[in-house]
A and B are shown apart, each in its own frame.
Chain A
């Protein structure tokens, strides 16, 4: 059980302290100074400040947070809504869980700053259903905020500044972590992403103007407002400022969370986790969750920020770093990955529904030593039919890891064809 990150920075500095989970403990560490600063500014100024900070969303796509906030209509005769994505369904990702469990007030303060900036009257925090402790922590924090009049009407004595927070436990599907799949699920419908337009800023949760941000994104906001844009831009890279909680898992000595500045070289991130287990050789790393393309050991010096990773054909994603050592059969990895995406596809779009299943069947056959050259050719072609053509990015997420595995580990696939069996006896079992 993870209780705190092994490497801390501003975000997780007090995660080891149980008192930080109470309002008094949070305020003792400077909590709500950011909100107080924010309400002294005009809402538009707060949006500009977040824009100037360069904060990028921490949910996977890395979209500029301030820009997203500016999409919310300034005036609206309908209630405006913030939805906070705590579904954290990306395999290899487990940072939001800790943030919710250990730092719920920073998230809520960030939400209140967003509410002030965007004029939103209600928030829905959508938390992965299995995260019972996170749901408990958030609910207890919300109850405390209501008691102390930091939620409800006239917050901080500001007339007209009202905000309500609903903590909603999800019912478990990968696709409910997709922005609009989440909105459908929140509304009690089957979790299926919505076509765009309309975009959530016009027609989001319950048809209301909505902004959806990730849990971690909001957790950074109070620090940015309180300590200033320059302070924030002083860590991380120019295009990706701030820290993130890298979750390192797989074949490392000490898997866990590490709060490091964005742009930290991948080698260093893995080093914090004690390096590859048992002194074995590294075979590959998925740098940002299951849906991102794998990197070979030759790319270990890549700075872990979107602008550098995208040059290498992959993405930062959620910062879930999955390390695989030399024992690993990459065809098995492809089989597991394709099984996951086949199982989790919502089934709306033709390419995703049919493509994910086809890719999985091809991987299975090659893995079992029954594959042919034609199968390998198809495994190259079918992901191309899926990529970039569907309602949401799920089909991309299903296609990319397969493409990455084929790009860097094609010899593993070819060995299965020629030897008619899996040549990696020590690999993990399916």
Chain B
């Protein structure tokens, strides 16, 4: 492995990489080794046009862009000497001569790389007297993205993203020189299953999502690590919250799972947390207290056990590993055999979206549960997590005790319904389609009484005397 020296410190870096990539591979980019950059992105092709990542390399007369200079053994790189800083100031000054100073009303403020780098490496005063280049404001590029053309610094990350990831190529830079403008190709719009990623990679406030735009200032948000539950890929994400409310999902980099992307469907699924929830426990359709619902569930369970009736367990691929394990253990104590489960399926693509539309089918399988959509047949009591099976499958089941977060046809038919927490309301783990166990943390608290499936099952078991 080649050794390079950056500002006097030696690093062993992988072979055959560009300087910036190699620093990123070591996890040091903007995290110990500060080389600011705009056009370069770890998961897109190299563009080399913003020129901000220029560094001095001993033996090379000109400054070199770190993003497109191959590493060589013994290379000595300077990232913060006066020559490099001067070039950086130059790029920042030139980028700002046409950028509007509208940070106070720009939704990117607070997470804007132009703002950050201008403070860190720019010049405090503007030397230009020229009027700024006029361009379009608040243009809809498609159903998800709003474009502020005058803020665009033409790094072309979004152009490369659309060409290279969803391979839809809706965007291009038109005209040339200082008349260059980012646009969608005539007659098309930015509309693909991954379109909202362009807002993440846009370093400035040019591309924002219609959904999040102007909802809240980002400095009021704090970010909690989580995992998407909309398919078995399990894209890593951060959920941004404020005042016990989730405002958005943003993909979190994991090269083994989702690189730095997530699909629009998954991104928008944060809204599901607040929609159609089972908010109150019910017994035979009547709202009761949580204690009374637990008591009724325990009575039904005790009665079925005492009558040596048949008990079946239906698990959910939306449940966490801990909840599934607790369920399996309870069923074993009840002598009911392991649970079965069902996975909703849909379309897949060769980017991220997988056919299994649930996050933890692999977790169910790992716990020995079997997948089935068949009729349950005759049973006296079904203990059910979630509602991935249709109500008809339960035709010959006597009583249903359902622990679920969302209303469904099944919750309307169940004898006892106990509200459950969603994955955003608890800490746990899902096992994705590649067998990777991925942790998620509680982001918000439910605004009504609800517990995880494991906690609820434990309360029912205790009340039924089968702990």
A interface residues with partner B (beta carbon < 8 Å) = 173, 175, 190, 195-197, 342-351, 353-358, 361, 374-375, 378, 384-385, 388-391
User: Could you say which residues of chain A place their CB within 8 Å of the CB of B173?
Assistant: 347
Q: Given A197-B68, A345-B176, A389-B87, do A350 and B49 touch, yes or no (CB 8 Å)?
A: yes
Verify if B62 is at the interface (C-beta below 8 Å from A).
Answer: yes
B62 interface neighbour in A195, A384, A385, A388, Cβ under 8 Å: A388
B48 with A391: CB separation less than 8 A: yes
B49-65 Cβ-contact flags toward A at 8 Å (1 or 0):
11110100000001101
A350→B91 contact, CB < 8 A: yes
Which stretch, B92-100, B240-248, B291-299, B317-325, touches the partner chain A? B92-100
Given the known interface contacts A195-B46, A195-B47, A195-B48, the answer about A347 and B68 at a Cβ–Cβ threshold of 8 Å is no
A202 to chain B, nearest CB (A): 12
The listed residue (B51, B52, B179, B180) touching A390 by CB distance below 8 A is: B51
Cβ of B130 within 8 Å of any chain A Cβ, yes or no, is yes
Beta-carbon contact of B128 and A358 below 8 Å: yes
Known: A347-B175, A347-B180, A350-B91. A358 touches B130 (CB 8 A): yes
Q: A351-B91, A374-B127 are in contact. List 7 more A-B contacts (CB 8 A).
A: A175-B176, A345-B176, A347-B176, A347-B180, A378-B128, A389-B54, A389-B62
Q: Are B175 and A354 in contact (CB under 8 A)?
A: no
Nearest CB to that of B90 among chain A residues? A385
- Chain B residues contacting A347 (CB-CB under 8 Å) are 154, 173, 175-180
Q: Please, how many angstroms separate the alpha-carbon atoms of A346 and B173 in the complex?
A: 10
By the criterion CB–CB under 8 Å, are B51 and A357 in contact? no
Residue B70 at the chain A interface, CB threshold 8 Å:
yes
What residues of chain B lie closer than 8 Å to A345, measured between beta carbons? 176-178
Known A345-B176, A346-B177, A353-B178: A389·B51 in contact at CB below 8 Å = yes
Q: Are B127 and A378 in contact (CB under 8 A)?
A: yes
User: Could you tell me if A351 and B48 are in contact, using CB atoms closer than 8 angstroms?
Assistant: no
Q: Considering only CB atoms, which chain A residue lies closest to B179 in the complex?
A: A347
A347 to B159, CA, bound (A): 15
For B128, what are the chain A residues with a Cβ–Cβ distance below 8 Å?
A: 358, 378
Which residues from 7 to 53 on chain B have a C-beta closer than 8 Å to any C-beta of chain A? 46-52
A353 touches B154 (CB 8 A): yes
User: 8 interchain pairs (CB within 8 A)?
Assistant: A173-B176, A345-B177, A347-B173, A350-B49, A350-B91, A350-B153, A354-B94, A389-B54
Interchain CA distance A351-B175 in the complex, whole Å: 17
Give the chain A neighbours of B153 by CB distance below 8 A: 350
Contact flags (1/0) for B119-133 with A, using CB distance below 8 Å? 000000001111000
B363 CB, min distance to chain A CBs, angstroms = 45
Contact surface of B with A, Cβ cutoff 8 Å: 46-52, 54, 62-63, 65, 68, 70, 87, 90-91, 93-95, 97-98, 127-130, 153-154, 173, 175-180
User: With the chains together, A351 CA to B51 CA distance in Å?
Assistant: 8
Bound CA span A355–B153, Å: 14
Contacts of A358 in B (CB 8 A): 94, 97, 128, 130
Query: Given the complex of chains A and B, what is the CA–CA distance between A350 and B154 in angstroms?
Result: 8
Beyond A195-B48, A197-B70, A354-B178, whether A385 also contacts B54 by CB under 8 A is no
* CB closest residue in chain B, given A378: B127
**Chain A residue at smallest Cβ distance from B172:** A190
Asked if A356 and B90 sit within 8 Å, CB to CB, the answer is no
Q: Nearest-CB distance from B225 to chain A (Å)?
A: 34
List, in ascending order, chain B residues with CB within 8 A of A175's CB. 176
Contacts of B70 in A (CB 8 A): 197
A88 to B90, CA, bound (A): 32
Dominant secondary structure at the B interface: loop
How many residue pairs, one in A and one in B, have C-beta atoms under 8 Å apart? 88
Q: A344 to chain B: which residues have CB within 8 Å?
A: 176-177
Chain B residues, CB < 8 A from A356: 177-178
CA distance A357 to B98 in the complex (A): 10
CB distance from A171 to the nearest CB of B (A): 13
Residues of A within 8 A of B65 (CB): 195
Residues of B within 8 A of A195 (CB): 46-49, 65, 68
Given the complex, which residues of B lie within 8 Å of A173, measured CB to CB? 176
> Do B97 and A354 touch (CB < 8 A)?
yes
Measured in the bound complex, the distance between the Cα atoms of B182 and A347 in whole Å is 11
Measured between alpha carbons, how far is A81 from B70 in the docked complex, in Å?
A: 25
| Complex Cα gap A368–B229 (Å) | 64
What's the nearest-Cβ distance from chain B to residue A251, in Å?
Answer: 29
CA distance A390 to B91 in the complex (A): 11
Known: A357-B177, A358-B97. A350 touches B46 (CB 8 A): no
Given A197-B68, A358-B97, A358-B130, verify A350-B51 contact (CB < 8 Å): yes
- Docked pose: A349 CA to B153 CA in angstroms: 10
With a CB–CB cut-off of 8 A, which chain A residues contact B95? 350, 354
A389 to B179, CA, bound (A): 21
Closest A-chain residue to B91, C-beta based?
Answer: A350
Q: How far is the CA of A391 from the CA of B46 in the complex (A)?
A: 12
Please pick, from A351, A361, A374, A388, the residue contacting B94 in the complex, using a CB distance under 8 A: A351
The CB with the most chain B CB atoms within 10 A, among A175, A356, A389, is that of A389
4 A-B pairs closest in CB distance = A195-B48, A347-B180, A357-B178, A345-B177
Q: Is the CB–CB distance between B177 and A342 below 8 Å? A: yes
Q: A356 to B46, alpha carbons, bound, how many Å?
A: 24
Q: Which residues of A contact B178 (CB under 8 A)?
A: 342, 345, 347, 353-354, 356-357
Instruction: Decide if A349 touches B127 in the complex (CB within 8 Å).
Output: no
What's the nearest-Cβ distance from chain A to residue B211, in Å?
31
Contact A349 B51 (CB under 8 A): yes
Give complex CA distance A349, B54 in Å.
Answer: 12
Given that A195-B47, A358-B94, A358-B97 are known contacts, is A353 also in contact with B177, CB under 8 Å in the complex? yes
Most buried by B among A190, A343, A350: A350
Do A350 and B50 touch across chains, with their CB atoms under 8 A apart?
yes
Closest chain-A Cβ to B171's Cβ sits at a distance in Å of 13
Nearest chain A CB to B338's CB is how many angstroms away? 56
The residue on B at minimum CB distance from A196 is B68
Instruction: Tell me whether B176 and A354 are in contact (CB under 8 A).
Output: no
For the complex, give the distance between the alpha carbons of A355 and B70 in Å.
28
Instruction: Give bound CA distance, A342 to B176, whole Å.
Output: 9
- The complex places the Cα of A235 from the Cα of B95 at a distance, in Å, of 49
Whether B127 pairs with A346 at a CB distance below 8 angstroms is no
Q: Closest B-chain residue to A390, C-beta based?
A: B51
Whole-angstrom CA separation of A391 from B63 in the bound complex: 12
Question: Are B94 and A385 in contact (CB-based, < 8 A)?
Answer: yes
Cβ of A388: which chain B residues have Cβ within 8 Å of it?
A: 62-63
Q: For residue B61, which residue of chain A has the nearest CB? A: A388
- For A348, the chain B residues whose CB sits under 8 A away are 47, 49
Q: How far is the CA of A344 from the CA of B90 in the complex (A)?
A: 21
Determine the distance from Cα of A364 to Cα of B54 in the docked complex, in whole angstroms: 31
Asked if A353 and B180 make an inter-chain contact with CB atoms under 8 angstroms apart, the answer reads yes
| Nearest Cβ on chain A to B80's Cβ, whole angstroms | 17
Q: What residues of chain A lie closer than 8 Å to B180, measured between beta carbons?
A: 347, 353
B88 CB to closest chain A CB (Å) equals 11
Q: Which residues of B contact A196 (CB under 8 A)?
A: 68
Closest to A348 in B: B49
Contact flag A349-B130 (CB < 8 Å), given A355-B94, A358-B94: no
A346, A353, A390 pick with most chain B CB within 10 angstroms: A353
Look across to chain B and name the residue whose beta carbon is closest to the beta carbon of A384. Answer: B90
